[in-house]
Amino acid sequence: MKVSIIAFTDNGMEIAYTLSNSLSEDNDISFTRCGKGELSVWTEEHFSDSDALIFIGAIGIALRAIAPYIRTKTKDPAVVVVDELGQFSIPVLSGHIGGANELALQMADILDAIPVITTATDINNVFAIDTWAKSQGLQILNPQCIKLVSSKLLKGEAIHIKSDYPIQGNVPNNVQINDLGDSNNDYDVIISHKNFENDDKDVLLLVPKIITVGIGCRKDINFENIEKSILNILKKENYHILSLNAIASIDKKANEKGILEFAKKYDLPFNTYSAEELNSLEGDFTKSEFVKSVVEVDNVCERSAVMESNGSLIRRKDTCDGAGVTVALAMNDPIISWE
């Protein structure tokens, strides 16, 4: 976690040193003292490239500084304010998804300060769907629906969750699982890697990142062909793009610009394996003698997908209508828990 700290006074800098020393073991920490006219420049730079911002000073200063850069609760960094005497630790932005509440509590423990948590679900000890989704690695497709779910829970009403996967542990109060049959519109939350289209906009959609793309291609294939091929396969299978967790191929494709550009655009790791590693996999793969004569392994896309995911093949090799690209998909079922 990349944490950026800014202070304004001598006392503030002492607190910055203390926080930096205590938080640095698990985080990438930087801190600075703000000079005249530097705050807006510092905030603009760090708001976009940090996971968390810590302001040591007045809360009004922090709010005015971050206001121009606030976008959405799924993208904004955590922002926490500590007064210059270290008496209070106050999360002011991205309390749940960004982790500001958790960071504020951690900072309060370090400074022996009072954490000031104001999110309704926390102060009422009610299950927070967005915090839970983040902890389970679930992508929130439509964050505007979080408030609808939280509102029901805060009123003591039950929410109904449809999950394509088992969820371990004790179910929270007022949460019902897979109890309304197959009618998607009756649920408040749906957890699935599949595309979901309906007319009811009040269903919170959570997507696990569980699908790995295995890919092979001709040398110097362009990005457009790579993107079109992968997206078409996902469309055929009705899988959501947010369910992708990685791209994999043979090491001979490690510098393939089209694949690298796709990975960068969709923020996915791209990992490659040697022919020896791919050949070591046991299983039923679509064999090609031509491919084997070129890269010394009988199938690149299927084997690399399974190798990377450590899961099961769910879409065999597809030649993508002769686009010079082959794509396969593998999936590893998520481990989801209420804990």
User: How does DSSP assign 9-43, residue by residue?
Assistant: SHHHHHHHHHHHHHHTTTSEEEEEE--TT-HHHHH
User: Are 172 and 223 within one domain?
Assistant: no
The pLDDT of residue 183 is above 80: no
Q: Can you say whether the dihedral through the CA atoms of 254, 233, 332, 297 is positive or negative?
A: negative
User: Are 304 and 237 within one domain?
Assistant: yes
Q: Please tell me the total count of domains within the chain.
A: 3
The pLDDT of residue 199 is above 60: no
Domain boundary at 150, 177, 208, which? Answer: 208
Q: Tell me the CATH number at 180.
A: 3.40.1390.40
Say how far apart CA 10 and CA 281 lie, in whole Å.
60
Residue 227: inside a domain, yes or no? yes
Per-residue pLDDT tens over the stretch 45-86: 999 999 999 999 999 999 999 999 999 888 899 999 999 999
User: Are 134 and 203 within one domain?
Assistant: yes
User: Are 199 and 172 within one domain?
Assistant: yes
Residue 165: inside a domain, yes or no? yes
Going by the DSSP 8-state scheme, the letter that residue 171 receives in this structure is: P
Residue 311: inside a domain, yes or no? yes
Per-residue pLDDT tens over the stretch 261-284: 999 999 999 999 999 999 998 888
Q: Tell me the CATH number at 264.
A: 3.30.420.180
Mean pLDDT for the stretch of residues 125-142? 93
Percentage of the chain with pLDDT > 90?
75
User: Are 198 and 216 within one domain?
Assistant: no
Band (320; pLDDT cuts 50, 70, 90): confident
Residue 195: inside a domain, yes or no? yes
Q: Tell me the CATH number at 73.
A: 3.40.50.11220
Domain boundary at 118, 148, 169, which? Answer: 118
Token representation of residue 206: 């959570």
Per-residue pLDDT tens over the stretch 205-241: 999 999 999 999 988 999 999 999 999 999 999 999 9
Domain boundary at 164, 188, 208, which? Answer: 208
| Domain around 95 | 2-118
The pLDDT of residue 198 is above 70: no
Percentage of the chain with pLDDT > 70?
99
Shortest CA distance to 331 belongs to which of 220, 221, 207? Answer: 207
Supply the pLDDT for residue 145. 92
User: Are 171 and 185 within one domain?
Assistant: yes
Band (290; pLDDT cuts 50, 70, 90): confident
Shortest CA distance to 206 belongs to which of 244, 163, 166? Answer: 163
User: Are 193 and 228 within one domain?
Assistant: no
User: Are 291 and 203 within one domain?
Assistant: no
User: Are 217 and 326 within one domain?
Assistant: yes
User: Are 306 and 291 within one domain?
Assistant: yes
Residue 124: inside a domain, yes or no? no
Residue 270: inside a domain, yes or no? yes
Per-residue pLDDT tens over the stretch 11-34: 999 999 999 999 888 789 998 998
User: Are 87 and 175 within one domain?
Assistant: no
Supply the pLDDT for residue 200. 54
